[in-house]
Amino acid sequence: MDNDATQVLLIEDNPGDADLTRLRLVEANADVQVKCVDRLSAALSCLGEKPAVILLDLNLPDSRGAATYRSILDKAPGIPVVILSGQDDEALANKALHQGAQDYLVKGSFNAKDLNRAMRYAMERQALLRAVEMSQKQQLDFKNQFLSHVSHELRTPLTCIHQYVTLLVDGLLGPVTPEQADHLKTVLRSVNQLHAMIRDLLEATRAESGKIRVEPRCISPRELVQQASAMLRPTAAAKKIGVEIAVDQRVPLVHADPDRTLEVLINLLDNAIKFTPPGGSVVVKACLVEADPEWVYVSVSDTGVGISPEAKNLIFERLYQDPNATANSRSGLGLGLFISREIVRLHGGRIWVSSEPGHGSTFTFTVPVYSLAKLLSSVAIYENRMRPSFVLVRVDLAPLSNPPLGNWKETWQQALEIVRRCVYLDKDLVLPPMGTAGTSETFFVVAATDMQRSGIMTKRIREQLERIPDVQAKCRLTISTLAIDLPPEQASWPVEQQVQGLAGRVAELIMAGVERRAASAADHT
C-alpha cells in the first residue's frame, strides 16, 4: 500500500455511481486510494482511519438527507467533505454547504478535472479553516491572559484609592467641606464602578476559558428571588420603580448553585431597573411549566424601553451594548448577560429574552428541579430490583468559633470532596448540600447497606476528615447513622414507585433532622 497516496472515503450505495466516481479519479491521474462503503454505519466505523477527504452521497439505505452529513460532521468535524448530489438534490447539497461541507458535485455531470479540483480545493479550504481557527484560539488565549493580568494588577491600586477616599469621606483624616464631600463621593462611586467592571472582566475571562465552577445545592427559588429583590429594591426606589415578586406556590426546590443563580438574578434585575424609566415597574416570577416539568422558569419583566430585533440576536454576546441605549444606562462593559448565559449553561439550563421596542422586556432562564428520586435511582436499583436495605449517614461540620477562623467555604468544600471520595459510587450517593451555605454544614449520604456494615463507611469518613488540618483544629465533627425503614408492602410495588417511596422517606428523615438541629440551636441562644 502506498502511504503517500491521498486516502479517499467514498460513501455511495449505487454501484454504478461508485464505479463512475472511481473512473473519474483514474482519468484525473490522481494519486489516491479509495475505500468505498454503501452505508452510513459502515462509513462512521471507517472515520477512525482519518481519510484526507470524504465523497458523500446524502441518501443512503440507513440515512437520508441532511441528517447523513450531520452524522459525519459530528463524528469527524475536521475532515473535508464533498457532496455527491443527484439532479433533484441540489437544494439539499446547498444546505449541507451552509452547515460546513466544502463543495458539491452533481452526479453524472462532473468530469475528472471537476472532481480533482473539488477534492483539492476542499482539502485546501479545510486546512485554511483549521489555521484560522488555531489563530483565533491563540488570539483569544492571549487576550484572556492579558485581560486577566491587567485586571489583577488594577485591583491593588483601586483598593488603596477606595480605602483612603472612604477615610476622607468619613472624616477620619480631618474635616472636609460639604462640597469636598460631594466630590469625594463621586470619586468613590467611580472607583466602585471600575471595581465592578474589573470583576466582570475577570469573570468573563474565566467563563470563556471554562474556569467558572458551580456548586449545586438543594435550594429554594423563592428565597433567591426574595434575596435578589431585597438587594435591588433601594436602587429601584431611588428611580421610583416598583419591584414585585410572583412565585408560584407549587415551585419545588431546585438543584443549583445559590451564589451563581443569585448573580444571574441580580444581573437581570439591575438591567431591568437601568432600562426602565421612573414610575415603571419590574416583576420577578418563578413558576412551573406543565410541558417542561423538570425545570423551574425564572423571569424578570420590566416596563422599560425594550430591545430591537437586531439587538436581541446579540445581547448575550461578550462586550455587546445596544447602540440605541441611553448613555445613563450604559454604565458597564456589556458582560453581565454573557456571564449570566454561561452560568445558566453550566446548570444545563437556557436563557432567552422576549421584547419589543417601547414595550419592555422579559428575560427568562431555567434551573433544574431537585429530584431526589431521580438522583437515588442510580444507586437504589441493581439488576432491575431495589437493593434490600439503606442507611442515611449524616456528617455535621461546625466551626468552633463564630465567625469561623480561616476560609470557611474552602474548609467545607474540601470536606465535601473527602466525603465523596469515601463512598462507593455504584452503591452510595452523597446528596447535594441543603440550602445556602452558612456557618455550619451538613452532608447526607444514602448508602445501600445495613446498620452493621455502615460502620466501615463512617469510620473511613471520620479518619479521612480528621486528616484535614482545618477540620481537626477549627471544627467540631459529628457523624451519625440512621436506618431507612421502608414499609413491608412497598416490596410489591413497581420498582420506580419503590424509588419514589425511598425518596419520600429520605426527605422526611432529613427534614426531621434539620428541624431538630434548628430547635437545638435556638435553645442555646
CATH of the domain at 177: 1.10.287
Instruction: Count the domains in the chain.
Output: 4
Residue 127 lies in a domain: no
For residue 120, being part of any structural domain is answered with no
Sheet holding 475-483, edge to edge: 428-430, 441-447, 391-399, 475-483
Residues 339 and 253 both lie in one domain = yes
CA 151 to chain centre: 24
Helical ranges in 170-292 per DSSP H: 178-208, 221-238, 258-274
> By the 8 A CB rule, do 339 and 204 touch?
yes
Q: Are residues 452 and 419 in the same domain?
A: yes
The residue behind cell 468530469 is 111
Question: Is the residue at 339 inside a domain?
Answer: yes
Domain membership flag for residue 124: no
Structural domain harbouring 396? 372-523
Are 138 and 238 in the same domain? no
Same domain flag for 515 and 389: yes
Q: What's 221's domain CATH number? A: 3.30.565.10
**Contact predicate 13/57, CB 8 Å:** yes
Q: E-strand spans in 95-188?
A: 103-106
What is the C-alpha to C-alpha distance for residues 352 and 354, in angstroms, rounded to an integer? 7
Domain identity same for 518 and 456: yes
Last residue of a domain, one of 350, 368, 386: 368
37 neighbors 9 (Cβ within 8 angstroms): yes
Minimal CA–CA distance to 454: which of 426, 484, 432?
Answer: 484
pTM: 0.63
The DSSP bridge partners found for residue 57 are 84
Give phi and psi for 99, each to the nearest 5. Answer: -85, -10
State how far the Cα of 58 lies from the Cα of 92, in Å rounded to an integer. 8
Pairing of strands 6-11, 53-57: parallel
- Polymer length in residues for the chain: 525
* Residue 117 included in any domain: no
Task: Kindly report the CATH number assigned to the domain that includes residue 15.
Answer: 3.40.50.2300
- pLDDT of amino acid 363: 97
Q: Are residue 382 and residue 399 in the same domain, yes or no?
A: yes
**pLDDT, position 69:** 82
Residue 376 sits in the same domain as residue 355: no
| 321 found inside a domain | yes
Residues 239 and 300 in one domain: yes
Q: What is the DSSP letter of 390?
A: -
Low-confidence residues of the chain, pLDDT below 50? 1, 327, 524-525
DSSP-based three-state secondary structure for 292: coil
Could you tell me which residues come within 8 angstroms of residue 5 by beta carbon, excluding any fewer than 6 positions away? 31, 32, 33
Of 180, 208, 236, the last residue of a domain is: 208
Q: Note whether 363 and 277 are same-domain residues.
A: yes
In a shared domain, residues 376 and 519: yes
474, 401 contact by CB (below 8 A): yes
Considering the domain architecture, whether residues 105 and 154 belong to the same structural domain is answered as no
Q: What is the pLDDT of residues 71-96, one digit of tens each?
A: 888 888 888 988 888 766 667 777 77
Cell numbers standing for residue 366: 431555567
| Sequence-separated contacts (24+) of 220-223 with Cβ below 8 Å | 220/253, 220/254, 220/435, 221/247, 221/251, 221/253, 221/254, 221/286, 221/296, 221/298, 221/367, 222/247, 222/251, 222/286, 223/436
Which of 208, 235, 252 finishes a domain?
Answer: 208
Residue 68: predicted pLDDT: 86
Residues 35 and 56 in one domain: yes
